[in-house]
Amino acid sequence: MFRAEDYVKVDSLAEAYELCQKRSSLVVGGNVWLKMTGVTKRTIVDLSGLGLDKIEETGDEFRIGCMCTLRQLEIHQGLNQYFGGIFKECTRHIVGVQMRNCATVGGSIFARFGFSDILTCMMALDTYVELYHGGIMPLAEFAKRPVRRDDRDILVRIIIKKDGRKAAYATQRNTKTDFPVIACCVSRGGNVWYVSVGARPSRAQVVKITDDGFDSLAEMAREAADSFSYGTNTRGSSGYRRQLTAVYTRRLMERLTGRSVNRG
């Protein structure tokens, strides 16, 4: 069971960062994941008093505070309208509404879970993380970093550029609220496609592919699927995941081009 002796609701990010430099301190998001772990800490640091629970929309970007919940992503009209409903689609299978009202975007992205629907979804967009100490960097770069105990930075917000990409999202799950067997998000800007695949079962990665030189969407989807590595666990084999990726990627591409989806 997760245990901590002290709880500090900080007044500033500077205070949070200073506290977190001690190995005995840890920042918490919604505490939904952490509470199931055996971690023991002296102090937990709560960012909930810093106004980082808002999704702001400007002319050219969305700014999502780290304390926003998954439910906020799910029901945010601007985000879902701009990106074709992918935020609703990538969150609605995660456990239940009560849980999604607690789990945060910061905890989901900073933890970089292999099964993460949120990471898979955001990787297909022009997304950046803003770290208190490390500054702003592309999410794809942040996602490649190993999750290390001595990384004591704080994820402040996520920034998603409104670059005109259209996007679609799909997962396959063995049962309704289980972790995904595979998670796919495809976006398109002009003739450039971005295919993000998570739950392989490793952490989401994204490939960029241009549609020149392909005879069909199926061929392009297969090429994208073959550029990832896959693993086997209790939910599915690597071969099955590769096959699913090719099929879902093609279906999502078809959706984005307005072509009818056949069930092949």
Ligand X SMILES: Cc1cc2nc3c(=O)[nH]c(=O)nc-3n(C[C@H](O)[C@H](O)[C@H](O)COP(=O)(O)OP(=O)(O)OC[C@H]3O[C@@H](n4cnc5c(N)ncnc54)[C@H](O)[C@@H]3O)c2cc1C
Q: What are the residues binding ligand X (CB under 6 A)?
A: 26-34, 36, 47, 66, 70, 94-95, 103-104, 106-108, 110-111, 115-118, 154-155, 179
- Whichever of 66 and 195 has its CB closer to ligand X, that residue is 66
Residue 191, SS3 per DSSP: coil
DSSP character for 180? Answer: P
Closest distance of CB 197 from ligand X, Å: 14
- Whichever of 73 and 220 has its CB closer to ligand X, that residue is 73
- Whichever of 197 and 217 has its CB closer to ligand X, that residue is 197
The long-range contacts involving 137-144, CB below 8 angstroms and separated by at least 24 positions, are: 139/109, 140/205, 140/206, 142/109, 142/112, 143/112, 143/119, 143/203, 143/204, 143/205
Closest distance of CB 179 from ligand X, Å: 5
**C-alpha to C-alpha distance for 55 and 73, rounded to whole angstroms:** 8
Q: What is the DSSP string of 97-121?
A: HHHHTTSBHHHHHHHT-TT-HHHHH
Torsion of CA 32, 124, 60, 155, to 10 degrees: 30
- Whichever of 27 and 253 has its CB closer to ligand X, that residue is 27
**C-alpha to C-alpha distance for 190 and 245, rounded to whole angstroms:** 22
Closest residue to bound ligand X by CB = 107
Closest distance of CB 170 from ligand X, Å: 14
- Whichever of 73 and 221 has its CB closer to ligand X, that residue is 73
Closest distance of CB 86 from ligand X, Å: 13
Closest distance of CB 174 from ligand X, Å: 11
